[in-house]
Structure 1
């Protein structure tokens, strides 16, 4: 089976990717119903979001190091871009939770846009962008829920 032509990710990739959404979902659902621990859950949500945004940024570092058909300029741009999500994520952890959640949403959406730009230049598996869209959407919705809960219950 050719991984570049399959629209379904390999099983282990799907389990790891979608399994990575579980903390987003659990924390977002705990926030509205756990008044006593809401400060902890909200910080945990932003912190987890920051870790994951940093991780997806690092994917572009890996692409810059390994993809053969990138021009020198494209390679440089991938290296530069790869550290920006980590900087955005770090800034999000320094902000109040409401603003941290919103900044992370922007980071995830912009990173997905960067993935789409990269997809036009290099060969990535057919499942990569659809999976990234689903992961970005769910993570962003959970962060949005966190921002709304913090805005309405603070």
Structure 2
């Protein structure tokens, strides 16, 4: 995977990563401001969060296949972990929306914890970016859960 990281500048990953936050931020603002559409918007937020959590989980599938320097047991751990975020995302879609938002927020935080296990192998820009992405996505999900939870 180091070849890919060497041929693509970090800014390409950054633009796409932060661009992926736009639905989190936009939907959270709309959930807060547009109460008449809250039901639709909240389902859209949980659906988007589940898709993105599945996506970041799949990164570990790629890491398991491609990263140099992983021991066999580390490779197996990455492979097993890679499917867990998709299961968390699926579960979040089965729950009442406020709970689904909270499950997703904890899923993103748990995934960041798993990412940190690769700190010595991934490029230096990866973990700081993942931290910022996790904070924003998780805050949007928690804020939406609070707004939806206090809705009467």
Q: TM-score range with shorter-chain normalisation?
A: over 0.9
1:147 aligns with 2:145: yes
Say which structure is richer in helix. Answer: 2
- Bigger relative contact order (CA 8 A; separation at least 6): 1
- Which residue of the partner structure matches residue 36 of structure 2? 36
1:32 & 1:125 partners in 2: Cα distance?
Answer: 37
In the TM superposition, structure 1's runs of 4+ consecutive aligned residues that sit over 3 Å from their partners are none
1:49-128 matches, cutoff 5 A: 49-120=49-120, 123-128=121-126
Once superposed, what is the RMSD of the aligned Cα atoms?
1.6
CA deviation map 1:50-89 (0-9, x unaligned): 0000000000000000012111111111100000000000
Q: Give me the whole-angstrom Cα distance separating, in 2, the residues matched to 1:32 and 1:54.
A: 26
Q: Deviations over 1:107-134 (max 9, x none)?
A: 00010000011224xx211110000000
Q: Distance in 1 between matches of 2:75 and 2:117?
A: 13
Q: Find out whether 1:21 has 2:27 as its counterpart.
A: no
Q: CA deviation at 1:10?
A: 2.1
C-alpha displacement at 1:36, in angstroms?
1.2
Indicate which of 127, 130, 138 corresponds to 1:129: 127
Separation (CA, whole Å) in 1 of partners of 2:23 and 2:69: 36
Please, what TM-score do these two structures have when normalized by structure 2? 0.92
Gaps spanning 5+ residues in structure 2: where?
A: none
TM-score normalized with structure 1 length: 0.91
